[in-house]
Amino acid sequence: MNIAYPAPNTVSIWVGTFASESAFDNAVESAITSALRLPTDLASICEVAFQPDSVSIDTLLEGFSGWESFSPAAASVATSRGISAANSAVVCYYVGCTDAPETWRSLHFLGSFPGCDNTCNA
């Protein structure tokens, strides 16, 4: 797996379905934080969402900073992989991953997409 950071106008997205927010937090720590090993605190460049019930991927991603720039592409990839809904998402800004596995323990890596937070125009 190749990791690029900082990768301007790039977001990497993981989704999953978890019974609790603490199970989701543990999965993020054990799968994403440990694999990326970035030189910055993951919380400073990522946003997360957890809700009790699963919703469509486009609904789950709505409201993330800059979601309009990456949500359609991410939802399309999820659909093509048979992922119709989830209750948790991680969006890491300025991180690009290539040759990455689709499954990171209990999380599905949808990919790295052109996109941005609210500070740029992708």
Q: For residue 58, is it within any domain? A: yes
Q: Answer yes or no: is 120 within a domain.
A: no
For 11, what's the count of Cα atoms within 13 Å in the CB-facing half-sphere? 31
The parts of the chain modelled with pLDDT lower than 50 are: 122
Write out the DSSP string of the chain: -EEESS-TTEEEEEEE--SSHHHHHHHIIIIIIHHH--SS-GGGTEEEEEEEEEEEHHHHHTTSTTGGGTHHHHHHHHHHTT--EEEEEEEEET-EEES--SEETTEEEEEEEE---TTS--
Does residue 119 lie within any of the structural domains? no
pLDDT confidence of residue 122: 45
Domain that holds residue 33: 2-114
Q: Report the pLDDT value the prediction gives residue 119, as an integer from 0 to 100.
A: 78
Inside any domain, residue 93:
yes
For the stretch 56-91, pLDDT in tens is 999 999 999 999 999 999 999 999 999 999 999 999
Quote the pLDDT of residue 118: 82
- Residue 18 in domain: yes
Q: Write down the pLDDT at residue 121.
A: 55
